[in-house]
Chain A
Amino acid sequence: MVTADDPEMHSSQNEQDNRNYALAAKVPMLEPSEPQEVKEFMRIAYELSEELDTPVMMRMTTRVSHVKGVVTPDERREGPVERKIEKVPSKLVMLPAMAKTRRVYVEERMIKCCEIAETAPYNRIERGDNSKGFITGGVSYLYVKEAFPEASVLKLGMCWPLPENLIREFAASVDTLYVVEELDPFIETQLKAMGIKCIGKEVIPNQGELNTDIVRRAIDPTATKELFAAPKLPNRPPNMCAGCPHRGIFFNLSRMNVFVSGDIGCYTLGFLPPLSAMDACVCMGASVSMAHGMQKALEGAHNKIVSVIGDSTFVHTGINGLINTVYNNSASTLIILDNRITAMTGQQPNPASGSNIKGEAANALDFVALCKAVGVKHVFEVNPHDVVNTRQVLKDAIELEEMSVVISKAPCVLLPEMKRKKKIPLFTVRENCVGCTSCIRLGCPAISWTSFKDADEAEARGYKRKQKGFSSINEDHCLGCGQCASLCKFNAITKREE
Chain B
Amino acid sequence: MKETGNILFSGVGGQGILLASEVTAYSLLGAGYDVKKSEVHGMAQRGGSVTAQLRFGKKVYSPLIEPGCADILMAFEMMEASRYAEYLHKDTKVIVNTQKILPPAVATGQMAYPDDVLANLRELGITVVEVDAFEIAKQVGEPKTANVVMVGAMSAFLPVDPKNYIQVIETRVKEQFRDVNLKAFEAGRNASK
CB-based contact B107/A448 at 8 Å: yes
Taking the complex as formed, is A70 at the interface, i.e. its CB lies under 8 A from any CB of chain B? Answer: yes
CB-based contact A445/B63 at 8 Å: no
CB-based contact B42/A450 at 8 Å: no
Taking the complex as formed, is A422 at the interface, i.e. its CB lies under 8 A from any CB of chain B? Answer: no
User: Who on chain B is nearest to A414 by CB?
Assistant: B45
| Contact code string A222-244 (vs B, CB < 8 Å = 1, else 0) | 00011111110111111111000
CB-based contact B66/A231 at 8 Å: no
CB-based contact B13/A227 at 8 Å: no
> Which of the candidate stretches B82-90, B147-155, B159-167, B170-178 sits at the interface with the other chain?
B82-90
User: Who on chain A is nearest to B116 by CB?
Assistant: A231
Taking the complex as formed, is B47 at the interface, i.e. its CB lies under 8 A from any CB of chain A? Answer: yes
| Contact code string A47-75 (vs B, CB < 8 Å = 1, else 0) | 00000000000000011001111100000
Query: Which residues of the other chain, B, contact A447 by a CB distance below 8 angstroms?
Result: 107
- Contact partner of B46 (CB less than 8 A), chosen from A67, A70, A235, A238, is A238
Taking the complex as formed, is B127 at the interface, i.e. its CB lies under 8 A from any CB of chain A? Answer: no
- Contact partner of B62 (CB less than 8 A), chosen from A143, A227, A449, is A143
Chain A interface mostly: loop
Taking the complex as formed, is B16 at the interface, i.e. its CB lies under 8 A from any CB of chain A? Answer: no
Taking the complex as formed, is B106 at the interface, i.e. its CB lies under 8 A from any CB of chain A? Answer: yes
CB-based contact A449/B63 at 8 Å: no
CB-based contact B104/A450 at 8 Å: no
| Contact code string B110-140 (vs A, CB < 8 Å = 1, else 0) | 0101100100100010000000000000000
Query: Which residues of the other chain, A, contact B107 by a CB distance below 8 angstroms?
Result: 445, 447-449
Query: Which residues of the other chain, B, contact A236 by a CB distance below 8 angstroms?
Result: 12, 47-49, 79-80, 83, 103-104
Taking the complex as formed, is A345 at the interface, i.e. its CB lies under 8 A from any CB of chain B? Answer: yes
Chain A min CB distance to B173 (Å):
18
Taking the complex as formed, is A29 at the interface, i.e. its CB lies under 8 A from any CB of chain B? Answer: no
Chain A min CB distance to B46 (Å):
4
Query: Which residues of the other chain, B, contact A69 by a CB distance below 8 angstroms?
Result: 34-37, 60, 63
Chain B min CB distance to A251 (Å):
14
- Contact partner of B85 (CB less than 8 A), chosen from A11, A34, A230, is A230
CB-based contact A234/B46 at 8 Å: no
Query: Which residues of the other chain, B, contact A239 by a CB distance below 8 angstroms?
Result: 46-48, 104
Taking the complex as formed, is A10 at the interface, i.e. its CB lies under 8 A from any CB of chain B? Answer: yes
Alpha-carbon separation in the docked complex, A213 to B69 (Å): 11
Q: Which residues 52-100 of B sit at the A interface, judged by CB distance below 8 A?
A: 60-64, 66-68, 79-80, 82-86, 88-89
CB-based contact B111/A234 at 8 Å: yes
Alpha-carbon separation in the docked complex, A465 to B22 (Å): 52
Taking the complex as formed, is A456 at the interface, i.e. its CB lies under 8 A from any CB of chain B? Answer: no
Taking the complex as formed, is A415 at the interface, i.e. its CB lies under 8 A from any CB of chain B? Answer: no
Taking the complex as formed, is A266 at the interface, i.e. its CB lies under 8 A from any CB of chain B? Answer: yes
Alpha-carbon separation in the docked complex, A213 to B66 (Å): 6
Q: Which residues 195-228 of A sit at the B interface, judged by CB distance below 8 A?
A: 211-213, 225-228
Taking the complex as formed, is B29 at the interface, i.e. its CB lies under 8 A from any CB of chain A? Answer: yes
Q: Chain B interface: which size bin?
A: 35 or more
Alpha-carbon separation in the docked complex, A339 to B109 (Å): 31
CB-based contact B62/A231 at 8 Å: no
Query: Which residues of the other chain, A, contact B31 by a CB distance below 8 angstroms?
Result: none
Query: Which residues of the other chain, A, contact B108 by a CB distance below 8 angstroms?
Result: 274, 440, 443, 448-449
Taking the complex as formed, is A273 at the interface, i.e. its CB lies under 8 A from any CB of chain B? Answer: yes
- Contact partner of B106 (CB less than 8 A), chosen from A145, A234, A238, A443, is A234
Taking the complex as formed, is B43 at the interface, i.e. its CB lies under 8 A from any CB of chain A? Answer: yes
CB-based contact B79/A240 at 8 Å: no
Alpha-carbon separation in the docked complex, A3 to B102 (Å): 38
Taking the complex as formed, is A269 at the interface, i.e. its CB lies under 8 A from any CB of chain B? Answer: yes
Query: Which residues of the other chain, B, contact A234 by a CB distance below 8 angstroms?
Result: 79, 103, 105-106, 111, 113-114
* Residue among B38, B44, B80 with max Cβ neighbours from chain A (10 Å): B38
Taking the complex as formed, is A491 at the interface, i.e. its CB lies under 8 A from any CB of chain B? Answer: no
Taking the complex as formed, is B40 at the interface, i.e. its CB lies under 8 A from any CB of chain A? Answer: yes
Alpha-carbon separation in the docked complex, A230 to B61 (Å): 27
Alpha-carbon separation in the docked complex, A145 to B45 (Å): 33
Chain B min CB distance to A103 (Å):
41
Alpha-carbon separation in the docked complex, A11 to B42 (Å): 7
Taking the complex as formed, is B39 at the interface, i.e. its CB lies under 8 A from any CB of chain A? Answer: yes
Taking the complex as formed, is B146 at the interface, i.e. its CB lies under 8 A from any CB of chain A? Answer: no
CB-based contact A211/B46 at 8 Å: no
Chain B min CB distance to A435 (Å):
10
Query: Which residues of the other chain, A, contact B40 by a CB distance below 8 angstroms?
Result: 10-11, 62, 66
CB-based contact B48/A238 at 8 Å: yes
CB-based contact A225/B68 at 8 Å: yes
Query: Which residues of the other chain, B, contact A450 by a CB distance below 8 angstroms?
Result: 109
Query: Which residues of the other chain, B, contact A279 by a CB distance below 8 angstroms?
Result: none
- Contact partner of A63 (CB less than 8 A), chosen from B13, B35, B64, is B64
Taking the complex as formed, is A108 at the interface, i.e. its CB lies under 8 A from any CB of chain B? Answer: no
Alpha-carbon separation in the docked complex, A344 to B22 (Å): 21
- Contact partner of B104 (CB less than 8 A), chosen from A63, A211, A227, A273, is A273
Alpha-carbon separation in the docked complex, A445 to B43 (Å): 15
Chain A min CB distance to B123 (Å):
11
Alpha-carbon separation in the docked complex, A179 to B80 (Å): 37
Chain A min CB distance to B37 (Å):
4
Q: Identify 19 residue pairs between A and B in the complex whose beta-carbon atoms are under 8 Å apart, listed by A's number.
A: A11-B42, A66-B40, A67-B36, A68-B22, A69-B34, A69-B63, A70-B35, A211-B64, A212-B62, A230-B84, A230-B85, A230-B86, A233-B117, A236-B12, A238-B44, A239-B47, A443-B108, A448-B102, A449-B107
For the A-B complex with A226-B68, A233-B114, A234-B103 known, give 4 more contacts whose Cβ atoms are closer than 8 Å: A70-B29, A234-B113, A269-B46, A469-B109
A residues apposed to B, CB below 8 Å: 10-11, 34, 62-63, 66-70, 139, 142-143, 145-146, 211-213, 225-231, 233-241, 266, 269, 272-274, 344-345, 440, 443, 445, 447-451, 469, 476
B residues apposed to A, CB below 8 Å: 12-13, 22, 25, 29, 34-49, 60-64, 66-68, 79-80, 82-86, 88-89, 102-109, 111, 113-114, 117, 120, 124, 143
* Top 6 closest pairs, chain A to chain B, by CB: A238-B48, A449-B109, A238-B46, A236-B49, A448-B107, A142-B61
